[in-house]
Chains A and B, each alone.
Chain A
Amino acid sequence: MKMRNLLAPIALVGALVLAGCSGGGTSSAPSDSASTQAVKGGTVYVLNSGYSHLDPAQGYDTGVMDFYRLIYRTLTTQGTGDQANEILPDLATDLGTPNDDATVWTFHLKDDIFFEDGTPITSEDVRFGVERSFDPDIAVGSPYARTLLADVDGYEGVYRDGHLKSIETPDDKTIIFHLSRSFPDFAHAVSQPVYTPFPADAGVTTTSLDEKPIASGPYRVAEYTPGTTLKLARNDYWKASSDGIRPALPDAFEWNMTLDAATMDERLIASQGDDANAIGSSIQAASIARVQTPEIKSRTLSGTMGCSTFLALNTTKEPFDDEKARQAVAWAVDKSSVQNGTGGTLLADVATTILPPQMDGRQDFDVYPSTDHAGDPEKAKALLTEAGLPDGFTMTLDLASGTVSQAQGAAIQQSLEKAGITVKLNSIDSSSYWESVGNAAKENEAVLGAWCSDWGNGETFLPPLFEGSQINDVGNYNWSQLNDKSINEKMTEIRSMTDIEAAGKAWSDIDKSLVTMAAAVPLVYQKVVLVTGSNIAGAYSDPAFSGQIDLVAVGLKNADE
């Protein structure tokens, strides 16, 4: 239930795309272009803009979560290849054994699992990893320990408050989690990075892991200069036999984090020298036309990000406290020009629902149909007249300074103009954007928002964005500032449902109510286009990581090149 920087995935940042998305996506199958068998050995080069944190208690964006799987293991994790949409046991022997109401979960650890120094991974270490993530200094990562475990009120991590009562470790191989409520999806939750084990007795502090991570996965960090370079070498103590998920074919990985987006595109397209063994993030809209030749097309991958970009309308501000004014905006927005601004059909699909297509139980509907999704200014004007605003109004839209956001903003501005609504653009620097719009009191009439699910469960998507109790003074994601009684009640109701399928459909029903009342206007679902070096094999766009290439599965066609 969280998002991150969907801000400039295509333009500037690449890897900084948001928190995990997954579920029943459509784009998970390995693409034909990369179907040549990958071989063991060689070095894979990665061109991107770097990672937020090597400490998994703090990193919570899809770029870094994809990377974590190379050096860390968790109790469960997403599969690779054909099983990319499935959650599979990783350190644990199975997906956990719940009690009757799914409030107590027991996991058993496999044999032959080690840290990079050769010490075996025990249940103590898993517990330590979770407990340290509660420390206020680093509690900025994935929320699925803080929000799910029982007895966490006032708990400030293992360094200050000792052990957490709700995690038991009866022996070295067994760990038991007590949850604050029934959560049938807990096997997904323990795949989140906050559940990464660390040796409890090795002097790990709140800051040490960002500098010197302790690997449990197939690779260890050999060299790291933040923002410049990162080199991984094999972790000799990792046993392929205890890990059925990661092929981990290359002998090493090497990052170049110093390039700008255009240079990355250029190098991946040229694929010269070491760049033949290189992968990167999604290319920019400007490079799309250049990857249409058969040679480059054969090494291009595409996929969905599993995220939703939408226009959140602040229901506490005039005129958007009036449903009709909000619906007028929903009618007027030209989604196809927003799609064009995002990079055209290859980088975005037009969105008519807030939930993106891969969500469980998601239904497709369009409450505001118009020809080619180009908007209907006449209907908008009629609604404005009904709302007592025949001359339109002026509103301010908060948006990030990245190229893509700016293009989307310009498209919204231009289409609302036709309905007599004047939009002022309030550009906020991308690096501080979410912080700024998270300040509920300072939020303007509308926010250009984006959200990615952590997995296919609607609970990871709609409540943070639209539940009344989740309006916070700071760090707010309910940009609509919606506190609607019936929506709140329905959300509480779904949480107590144990039938995951029925819950999925119920979330989609809420989605429809939200779009109908126009608390937010869905705009586009963004997609990725990835160009790989000519010697790369086994690469596919992984919907679990916002469409980025699954790093644990990628390899080389020829290891000697």
Chain B
Amino acid sequence: MATALNEVTVESGSVGALFTDSAPTPGRRVWRELRTSPTALLSAAFIIFILLLAVFAPLVAQLTGWGPNEFDPDAINPDLGGLPVGPGGGIGSDHWFGVEPGNGRDIFTRIAYGARVSLTIAFAATLATTVLGVLAGMLAGFYGGWVDQVVSRVMDFLMAFPTLIFMIAILSALPADNRLVLLVIVLSVFGWTYTARIVRGQTMGLRTSEFVEAARASGGRGLGIILREILPNLRGTIIVLVTLSVPAYIGTEAGLSFLGVGVVPPTPSWGKMIAQAVPWYASDPMYFIFPGVFLFLTVLSFTVLGDRLGKILDAGDAA
């Protein structure tokens, strides 16, 4: 991915390079192309909706009148094993998405609070893995030699691990005091290698490019070149990696919660809701469908958006 010098300088305003007002900035170009893609717009709209839902979850609770952990004994039928009263798992004006069987907790409120948990973990893990992965990848790719050897072997080691099994083992063994932080740490420890591997490859390509040579010739030192010349050129790659790893972490978090090693109850979590809904699939399918659909659409939206972004940025690079 050899990037034209002039674009690099445009991208990295901090370098203090030439500005050409006539050419559209990449940001504007990306926005223009995204606007013409209805799938990307829909995805972005859904992501914004989920973000708002997560941020304003307490407001949602006030709006529905039900806290995330509040029981509603009147919404379930104790004589039928705690099955929600009414059609579609108790959907009605009181509970828009119905209630959980057995206790009558409001599913809409719990979805909103569950989005909080999902997104917090996914964003935090993405941030951690991106910082770690980009740093390690750039160092390994730029310096080569023993630095590359050490970083690459650590990556090999972590990638060879049966990650999911190991995560389950670690999370079941550790105390459950602060699962949110633990989940982020565990996801990050195993997740940064994927970013690092790609960034390392890109850096190796950039290292020998003319503008890096030029920077070197004009007296640039290692770290300075990495930050001023290499990093800005990786921006497109990083953006794509980020948009693709967010849904991956949402999925993994849901998976771990489904397996019972996610956040501790009563904290709502989509994965946990789906796990609890499994035995009810025949008598109360809506309990399964709501968190399932939300999880599916969220992951799909991030993936579609990431994919579109990747394509647009790639096209820009080629231009």
Contact = CB atoms under 8 A, between A and B. Distances in A.
Contacts of A429: 172
Contact of A343 (B102, B266, B278, B283): B102
Interface string A251-282: 00000000001100010000000000000000
A287 B284 CA distance: 10
B114 to A, nearest CB: 15
A406 B76 CA distance: 18
A262 B275 CA distance: 13
B133 interface: no
Contacts of A401: 260
Interface of A: 11, 261-262, 266, 284-290, 292, 334, 336-337, 339-341, 343-347, 374, 401, 403, 406-407, 409-411, 413-414, 417, 425-427, 429
A407 B103 contact: yes
Q: Which of A266, A286, A403 has the most B CB atoms < 10 Å from its CB?
A: A286
Contacts of A343: 81-82, 102
11 contacts: A262-B279, A285-B279, A289-B83, A289-B284, A336-B73, A336-B78, A337-B71, A340-B102, A341-B82, A410-B69, A413-B266
B69 A414 contact: yes
A396 to B, nearest CB: 10
B282 interface: yes
B262 to A, nearest CB: 12
Given A286-B283, A287-B283, A340 B82 contact: yes
Interface in B44-86: 69-71, 73, 76-83
Q: Which of B82, B265, B278 has the most A CB atoms < 10 Å from its CB?
A: B82
Contact of B70 (A292, A374, A414, A426): A414
Contacts of A286: 81, 101, 279-280, 282-284
Contacts of A337: 71, 73, 103
B103 A341 contact: yes
A410 B266 CA distance: 7
Contact of A414 (B71, B264, B283, B284): B71
Interface in B272-286: 276, 278-280, 282-284
Contacts, number: 99
A304 to B, nearest CB: 17
B265 A425 contact: yes
Given A286-B101, A287-B279, A414-B69, A344 B265 contact: no
B78 A426 contact: no
Given A286-B101, A286-B283, A414-B70, A339 B78 contact: yes
3 closest residue pairs by CB, A with B = A288-B81, A286-B279, A344-B78
Range of interface residues on B (Cβ < 8 Å): 20 to 34
B176 interface: yes
A261 B280 CA distance: 12
Contacts of A345: 78-79
A427 B103 contact: no
Give the dominant DSSP class at A's interface.
helix
B283 A340 contact: no
Given A285-B82, A414-B71, 14 more contacts: A284-B279, A286-B282, A286-B284, A288-B80, A288-B82, A289-B83, A336-B73, A336-B78, A339-B78, A340-B104, A341-B102, A344-B82, A346-B79, A403-B279
A427 B71 CA distance: 21
A382 B277 CA distance: 39
A426 to B, nearest CB: 7
B274 to A, nearest CB: 14
A452 B310 CA distance: 62
Given A339-B78, A345-B78, A407 B102 contact: yes
B71 A346 contact: no
A417 B69 CA distance: 10
Contacts of B260: 401
Given A401-B260, A429-B172, A410 B103 contact: yes
Contacts of A261: 279
A407 B69 CA distance: 12
B279 A406 contact: no
A285 B70 contact: no
Contacts of B81: 284-289, 343-344, 346-347
A525 B153 CA distance: 58
B276 to A, nearest CB: 8
Nearest to A283: B81
A340 B282 CA distance: 19
A265 to B, nearest CB: 8
Given A340-B78, A427-B264, A288 B83 contact: yes
B183 to A, nearest CB: 16
A240 to B, nearest CB: 41
A200 B264 CA distance: 53
Contacts of B69: 410, 413-414, 417
B298 to A, nearest CB: 25
A347 B78 CA distance: 9
Given A336-B73, A340-B73, A407-B103, A290 B82 contact: no
A285 B176 CA distance: 28
Contacts of A344: 76-82, 102
Contacts of A336: 73, 78
Contacts of B78: 336, 339-340, 344-345
B82 A427 contact: no
Contacts of B70: 414
A394 B133 CA distance: 40
Contacts of B276: 403
B237 to A, nearest CB: 41
A289 B283 contact: yes
Contacts of A406: 265
B251 to A, nearest CB: 23
Contacts of B280: 286
Contacts of A407: 102-103
A410 B265 contact: yes
Interface string B238-265: 0000000000000000000000100011
A334 B282 CA distance: 29
Contact of A427 (B77, B101, B176, B278): B176
A292 B103 contact: no
A382 B218 CA distance: 78
Contacts of B265: 406, 409-410, 425, 427
Interface in B87-120: 101-104
Contacts of B264: 425, 427
B186 to A, nearest CB: 18
Contacts of B71: 334, 337, 411, 414
Nearest to A337: B71
A231 to B, nearest CB: 29
Contact of A340 (B76, B176, B279, B284): B76
B105 to A, nearest CB: 9
